[in-house]
Amino acid sequence: MMGKAAVFLDRDGVLIEEPHLLADVAQIRLFDYSPLAIEALRRAGFYVIVVTNQTVIARGLATEEDMSRLHDAIQQLLHTANGSQIDAFYVCPHHPYATLVNYRIDCACRKPKPGMLLQAAHDYNIDLHKSYMIGDRITDIIAGARAGCKTILVETGAHLEKPIETTEPIDPRIRPDFVCQDLSQAVEVILEGA
């Protein structure tokens, strides 16, 4: 049986406004367009899955349980806005130079590695070649490309910043398939059959 397509989203700067080290529910600010964008993707038959690196856990600023509460709060904000929902959240709590030793791991899940996307594909029977990765950093784009997805870079601010710390070399040949202003425009591109 052929797998279903998914749209993978980075969280900060794509689904919600870029916070500085999000660890408190009060810091969450959904972009105004996010609920409609999520609803449109799900109505079109896509899974919508968040894949997010969270160094706040590796730094000891939040726990994995705190992160679950933050994601529950995001779900509640989406539901309150228009009944939309994220199908799943995948979190990488690791960092190669983590403050907390138990998270100081050169893992397979921290983007630009594709581990979170591959795990979601296994869990949800996703066809990665029919799927998309939307992110605001080159490391999101590399993870999506390595997983076999089409990729969309959104220019909501972090695309101008230096790449995140990674043990992986940043391959300068990897470029997004599409560049969009924000998640809303990216969803338009997807729904037009990109």
Whether 127 sits among the annotated catalytic residues: the reply is: no
Q: Provide CB contacts within 8 A for 26, sequence distance 6+.
A: none
The pair of three-digit structure tokens given for residue 167, joined into one six-digit string: 């043990």
Q: Considering the candidates 10, 136, 140, 182, report the single residue annotated as catalytic.
A: 10
Helix (H, G, I), strand (E, B) or coil at 128: helix
Quick one: DSSP state of residue 150? E
80 phi/psi in degrees, rounded to 5:
-65, -35
Is the backbone of residue 25 left (phi > 0), alpha (psi -120 to 50) or beta?
Answer: alpha
For the chain, how far is it from start to end, CA to CA, in angstroms?
23
CB-based contacts of 104: which residues, under 8 Å, 6+ apart? 58, 94, 95, 96, 97, 98
Question: Is 66 tagged catalytic?
Answer: no
Spatial neighbors of 165 by CB under 8 A, at least 6 apart, are 95, 96, 97
Catalytic residue positions, numbered:
10, 12
